[in-house]
Amino acid sequence: MNAAAPHHLPSFITAPGGTDYLMVAAAVILIGAVLGIGLLFLRLHTLPERMAHKTHKIQFEIVAVLGLLALFTHVHAFWVAGLLLALIDLPDIPGMFGRMAGSLEKIADIAPGRGGDAASDAEAALRGPEGNARDASAGIEEKNHA
């Protein structure tokens, strides 16, 4: 120690060439804080995707794209739109149409999954062997008389 230095120096003042423990602690705390805040930011940023993960696939994909747009463009409106879309429970329209089609196939005594093929077969039967279109009511009357 220098003779001009007071006898009771604070513990964070080190001798020349010594390790500065206060600076090491501050650096560790700073790195930890930056990583912690970054993880918190990313966790908050993925909130809409985590909420929409339980919903339909198309809704999840739209929310994920909005999240990526918000991340790369820094436009918060995309994130808010994704969050609102994740909060809304959209109806399963394709599933509903599939159930309706299955019920109609069951009513019409058509094998499941052959609804479109059966309609094409019915149109071909109405056309007749020459390919000329016949009156649909005539085909129904023939079926009823048989």
Backbone angles phi, psi at 92, to 5 degrees: -85, 80
Q: Tens digits of per-residue pLDDT, 32-47? A: 999 999 999 999 998 9
| pLDDT (0 to 100) of residue 81 | 94
**Which residues lie closer than 8 Å to 75 by C-beta, 6 or more apart?**
69
Q: Please, is 145 exposed, middle or buried when counting C-beta atoms within 10 Å of its C-beta (0-12, 13-18, 19+)?
A: exposed
> Which DSSP string do the residues of 65-126 spell out, in sequence order?
HHHHHHHHH--HHHHHHHHHHHHS----HHHHHHHHHHHHHHHTT--TT-HHHHHHHHHHHH
pLDDT in tens, 81-123: 999 998 888 777 777 888 888 888 888 888 777 666 666 666 6
Record the pTM: 0.51
Residue 16 CA to its chain's centroid (Å): 58
